[in-house]
Amino acid sequence: MTKQDRAVRTRLALIRSAAGQFEARGYVQASLAEISAGAGVSSGALHFHFANKAAVAEAVEHAAARALRRAAARGRDGDGCALQRLVDVTHQVARLLCADSVVRAGLRLNAEAAAGRVRDLRREWRECVDDLLAEAERQGELAAGVPPHRTGAVVLAATTGIEVLAREDHGWLARPSLTDLWQLLLPSLAAPHLAGALDPAGTRPGHVDADHAETGLSLANTL
């Protein structure tokens, strides 16, 4: 392994260790000593990569943002029924959160930071949801009288609630919660010709390992 490879691996290990600490103890309680110990490196090695705790948190948040944007883009830019892609992208994001502590910790750090930040992942998620609902409306996939923007607010509220509840109990990210949500929402949302054609459990099988590998890749890309 070259010196550069080792540096990349150390940085990744520090980001993963920090995510675990932030998730378990919160940003304020997390200590740099435990982050470096968790990554199996000296505190000198930590300080070679990161000036302080805020810099480690920024790296965790940045990695999470990349992974989440990638998952959202896959859903948004696909083809076929937009309403089904909306269902699918919620399941994909939940799988990503379920599989990867860096994504969970980074999303939480972002949400807890003061308002008015440049990078607002909830706002980006809302845009992804709204884009897919607007596309569904253009394609005649929505039932009469369903306002896309107000429906986007309901989807944002429900998915935000699942993410927040999952901080205490990861079971909320498992497939049934989202499937139950879509099972109740889709009959009101979908145009009659789509009745029965949409799958509330999502149409793309879970690729937790692939998602996880991709997050690793996106982490490497942040270096």
What are the residues binding its own copies (CB under 8 A)?
28, 115, 122, 146, 150-151, 153-154, 156-162, 164-165, 168, 172, 176-177, 180-181, 183-185, 187-189
The dihedral region occupied by 140, where left means phi > 0, alpha psi between -120 and 50, and beta the remainder, is left
Minimum separation from the CB atom of position 179 to its own copies (A) = 9
- Tokens coding 220: 């490497």
**Distances from the Cα of 190 to the Cα of 29, 40, 52, 61, 76, angstroms:** 46, 51, 49, 35, 18
3-state secondary structure of 100: coil
Q: For residues 65 and 94, which CB has a smaller minimum distance to its own copies in the complex?
A: 94
Q: For residues 164 and 208, which CB has a smaller minimum distance to its own copies in the complex?
A: 164
Q: For residues 7 and 146, which CB has a smaller minimum distance to its own copies in the complex?
A: 146
CA distance 91 to 85: 10
- Tokens coding 67: 């992974």
Residues with Cβ < 8 Å from 91, sequence gap 6 or more? 175, 178, 201, 202, 204, 206
Minimum separation from the CB atom of position 120 to its own copies (A) = 9
Taking alpha carbons only, the member of 191, 47, 193, 73 closest to residue 125 is 73
Q: For residues 88 and 163, which CB has a smaller minimum distance to its own copies in the complex?
A: 163
Minimum separation from the CB atom of position 156 to its own copies (A) = 7
Minimum separation from the CB atom of position 44 to its own copies (A) = 29
Minimum separation from the CB atom of position 129 to its own copies (A) = 12
Q: For residues 80 and 161, which CB has a smaller minimum distance to its own copies in the complex?
A: 161
